């Protein structure tokens, strides 16, 4: 039997970093989780254990901390690009770098006091190749939204295993995970773009009379693409957080869509992408 080495990468996952910027008595914080993955001329380490081409994952972690001190941490996309380009440029054996960052928000409670934001997490994934191509995916996750009405579900396939009853009035709730791709990574207004895409996703969810979660997903992505010319593709993953009306008839009570059981699993998972017709191919950048 003949075998060969397939696609591979390695790196340091979840380097926790908090950067404090001190402006006199007023402090600013950046709280991020950084994961790096490198690939390239790595055959020898797999086949013979020769580590000559390997930049240790501990060194990758230390680079994150050193760059945070030397360059600061502004927009997470810019910091990820800085790291990815450094790894590829600094070592001839490294042909591709992937950097993923999650950012956790804090609300100010005083000049140097903060309360952790319980909302969504801002994210980004950056890829950089030795050929100089960079791909930037901005995003968010755990954006929990709900419509208490204005959602229907009916007209679906019915087979011998179907027990779900059609409805013209249901709760629609989900935790949105979204990523969007920038056409020009070095010219993208990451901060304002993030705020605008987030606004579009929320407004489209709230303003759509939904006949399916798939329809809502498409409308949300379409709204973001229409409002943000710097974005060429949006991908969404939206678990359907089911809410089932509770049968109160044993207690002599009616229930006209007022009391629900919120089920956490199993759940429907709706995923999809919407892109401009002329959007360039992103290849494996979504991985």
Which active-site residues does the annotation give? 12, 57, 242
How far is CA 162 from its chain centroid?
33
Provide the 10 A C-beta neighbour count for residue 78: 20
- How many alpha carbons fall within 13 Å on the CB side of residue 114? 16
- Which of 139, 276, 158, 147 shows the shortest CA–CA distance to 215? 147
Provide the 10 A C-beta neighbour count for residue 97: 30
Cα-based distances in Å from 78 to 138, 188, 217: 11, 10, 28
Region of 219 (left: φ > 0; alpha: ψ -120 to 50; beta: rest) is alpha
How far apart are the C-alpha atoms of 235 and 41, rounded to whole Å? 31
Residue 17 phi/psi, 5-degree rounding, is -140, 130
How far apart are the C-alpha atoms of 257 and 261, rounded to whole Å? 11
């Amino acid at each position: 039997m003949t075998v060969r080495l397939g696609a591979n990468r390695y790196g340091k996952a979840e380097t926790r970093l908090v950067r404090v910027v001190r402006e006199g008595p007023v402090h600013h914080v950046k709280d991020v989780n950084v994961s790096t993955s490198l690939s390239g001329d790595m055959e020898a380490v797999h086949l013979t254990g020769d580590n000559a081409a390997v930049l240790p994952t501990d060194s990758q972690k230390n680079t994150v901390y050193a760059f945070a001190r030397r360059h600061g941490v502004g927009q997470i996309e810019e910091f990820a690009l800085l790291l990815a380009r450094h790894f590829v440029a600094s070592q001839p054996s490294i042909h591709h770098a992937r950097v993923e960052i999650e950012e956790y928000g804090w609300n100010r409670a005083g000049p140097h006091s903060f309360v952790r934001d319980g909302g969504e997490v801002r994210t980004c994934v950056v890829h950089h190749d030795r050929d100089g191509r960079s791909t930037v995916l901005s995003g968010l996750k755990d954006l929990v939204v709900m419509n208490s009405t204005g959602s229907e579900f009916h007209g679906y396939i019915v087979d011998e295993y179907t027990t779900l009853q059609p409805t013209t009035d249901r709760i629609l709730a989900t935790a949105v995970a979204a990523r969007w791709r920038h056409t020009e990574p070095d010219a993208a207004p990451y901060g304002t773009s993030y705020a605008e895409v987030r606004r579009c996703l929320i407004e489209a969810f709230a303003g759509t009379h939904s006949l399916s979660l798939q329809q809502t997903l498409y409308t949300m992505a379409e709204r973001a693409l229409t409002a943000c010319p710097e974005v060429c593709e949006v991908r969404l993953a939206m678990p359907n957080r089911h809410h089932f009306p509770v049968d109160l008839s044993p207690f002599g009570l009616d229930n006209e869509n007022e009391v629900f059981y919120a089920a956490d699993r199993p759940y429907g998972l709706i995923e999809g992408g919407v892109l401009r017709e002329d959007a360039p191919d992103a290849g494996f950048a979504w991985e």
